[in-house]
Structure 1
Amino acid sequence: MNRDELALNYAASNAFGASLGIGTRQALVMVDFARAYFERESPLFANTPEVLAQAAALLDWARKRGWLVCHTRVRYDARGLDGGVFFRKIPALRVFCEGNPLGEFASGLAPAEGEPVVTKQYASAFFGTSLASTLRAQGIDCTVIAGMSTSGCVRATALDAIQHGFIPVVVSDACGDRHEQPHQANLFDLQAKYADVMPLARLQELVGA
């Protein structure tokens, strides 16, 4: 079954992909926009400059709307002990050990003063962090998610968002991966089961930008 046939199979059943809407109060969650994904010397380099530009446009738009904007970053101690088995599974995560400049925020995507920064050691922005509590305290019911990478931390964050009771909206053109196939496959699966997936232009239409 090819991709088009698979999409028709899902659509015909009416069993997947229902729209969740955008809730009543949205927050933007910027997942792991680190230099590691945008600089060639990095083992995590994704070669997606268009994502960097689109993420910057999304960030600027959300700020102008007065949304709560939360950023995530990955940080490990020098030996990666706080990364557990996950750190052992992916040796490239060493770029996020304390002091490595590749772990810093990518150009144009650094947090503004007052924007919460969640430091994490695992894929999901919710796992072992205060993110859910921060969102609930602000009355948020919809998380707009952008980040790197689609098949990893974006997917894990969207999955945990829906499991915590937040509507996940994944901004497809403000997410990237190291290969187009896992990027597209995960966007497809997220749309079918865990999130509403749409480009920034469609999100702006729904919000009424």
Structure 2
Amino acid sequence: MTGPHGTAFSGRVGWGSRPALLVIDMVRAYTAPGGPFELPEPGPALAACAELVDTARAGGHPVLWTVVRYASGLADGGLFVRKVPALAAFAEDADGGWGEIARPLKPQSGEPMVVKQYASAFFATSLASTLAAAGVDTVVACGVSTSGCVRASATDALQHGFRPQVVHQACADRTPELHAANLADLDAKYADVVDLDDALARLRGD
């Protein structure tokens, strides 16, 4: 990075030898018409996620998924559901099926599903232990939203000693401006933001 801060930011953490793909909250609430978090154009990010999933599977790399889920009455939602009332759509007794993984994505048997109540996939979950036990050193992140759960999960991946690689075409947010600004800041401080083609090549072992 050039400018008043010189080279203070935007170093590279790079790829290790054992990547895993983390598909973050890519559920119907973001992709289906009328969803509580409906994105303006979810199609490209959804297609990019599907391509990453297929390539990771073909390469024998772990694929892990996250969803947000709350008990009936939101007793485990804490202050987060007060700050973001629309999260009530993820209560176990909510109508609409908004918490279902968006098609054409479909987790396979044996692929861990991380159920969380907050933004980060690492907060109060077993994700870090699961990745460590599998020998994973690199977390390839895709999903939604860029400014929320993707950002929080990538930041926590770094803090847990994993190399976060955020695939920019495979993430999306409620506005293009939020998406771009958060990718820029992630790339400056917490993760490597990478191109889809580069991530696919790495997962293929090219």
Range class of TM-score, shorter chain: over 0.9
Matched, 1:15 2:8: yes
Partner of 2:36: 43
Deviations 1:141-183 (A, max 9, x none): 1100001000000000000000000000001100011101110
Matching of residues 84-99 of structure 1 within 5 Å = 84-99=78-93
Structure 2 runs not aligned, ≥5 long: none
1:206 is displaced (CA, Å) by 4.3
For 2:113, which of 111, 117, 142 is the aligned residue?
Answer: 117
Partner of 2:53: 59
Identity of aligned residues (%): 50
Query: TM (normalized to structure 1)?
Result: 0.93
1:83 is paired with a residue of what secondary structure? coil
| Structure showing the higher helix proportion among its residues | 1
Deviations 1:124-153 (A, max 9, x none): 000010000000001111100001000000
1:110 is displaced (CA, Å) by 2.0
Letter in 2 for 1:35: R
Query: TM (normalized to structure 2)?
Result: 0.94
Instruction: Output the CA distance in 2 between the equivalents of 1:206 and 1:14.
Output: 27
1:83 is displaced (CA, Å) by 0.9
1:108 is displaced (CA, Å) by 1.6
1:39 is displaced (CA, Å) by 1.1
For 2:66, which of 56, 62, 72 is the aligned residue?
Answer: 72
Instruction: Output the CA distance in 2 between the equivalents of 1:194 and 1:9.
Output: 19
Instruction: Output the CA distance in 2 between the equivalents of 1:180 and 1:65.
Output: 32
Give the aligned length.
202
Letter in 2 for 1:102: W
